[in-house]
Amino acid sequence: MERRRPKLHEVWPGKNNIYCGGRLITGPDRICFWIAEIMILGPTVVFWWFVSIPLALAHPILGSIVCVGNVISTLTMVFSHFKAAFLDPGIVPRGREEVPENCVKEEEIGGHTVNLSFCKTCRIWKPPRAHHCRTCDNCVLEFDHHCPWVGNCVGQGNYRWFNFFLWSVIFGSIYLFFCAGLHFGLMLHEPKATWVDTVKAYPADVGLMSYSFFICLSIFGLCGYHCNLMCKGKTTYENIKKIEEGLDDRTGCQRLIDTMFGPGRESLFDLHKEVYSEEEDEESTSSSQSSTEGGLLLDV
């Protein structure tokens, strides 16, 4: 009887967590991810209990609009957060090459000469703009950074969803601030109402406005930073290390639009694929590996 070969997700060499039989892949750190979810859903529960429901009871049409808007805002934040967290960030499959004496070489790609470095952990020549993440223990295409708040690397595969998440948090915070302020203002205009009495009677409104203002202020600068990087065609890693690849001739506006709304890239591996040992079918494996590496270099 032929021995069953393991699937790739069963013997994954990196430090990632893989769920649903290989359909979802994320990083090894989950605590900050769930803290971020609590920071999204916690204020939403407070908003519904102390703002949405009282507003809907006092002003049915206005309250209904506020409720629907809050549901859309919350679902957008949660959806983009999960997409950034559980989508393949652009992991480069590991190879089986022997470690060369010189781990740096020049290669001409698309009319440009670039320096390629060899990853001793993944045993591959890293494609242009790919870097090794120590947290996940993988080489990632267009590696930006490892974000604990999404619990995953941010790279070519999920960078747009990371940015969508940031902007959804900003718009969600603005919406929360506006609606909480609207409810507070309506209560303030009640007969014989004063500032002090209104603050004492509706502390949740004040807390939500303060919280949303702080979140919006702290993330807005980060969004602006990443928009600037997209226009320059750089990643956070390249910007910090002052790396100039010189592979992009597009304008800043084209880069931003392509990054956020252009066609996505498929994963370079299949987690349901059977894994062969180095001894099994060595010739087939080596030829397949060399063709895959050539495809990677040409495709980046």
Known catalytic residue at 136: no
Helix (H) or strand (E) holding 237: helix 236-241
- Rounded to an integer, what distance in angstroms lies between the CA atom of residue 215 and that of residue 13? 37
Strand (E) positions, the chain?
A: 17-19, 24-26, 104-109, 112-119, 124-125, 131-133, 138-140, 145-147, 152-154
Collapsing DSSP to helix, strand or coil, 11 comes out as: coil
Burial class (CB in 10 A: 0-12, 13-18, 19+), 279: exposed
Order of strands, sheet of 112-119, starting from the edge strand that comes earlier in the sequence: 104-109, 112-119, 124-125
Q: Which of these is catalytic: 119, 122, 139, 147?
A: 147
List residues with catalytic annotation.
147
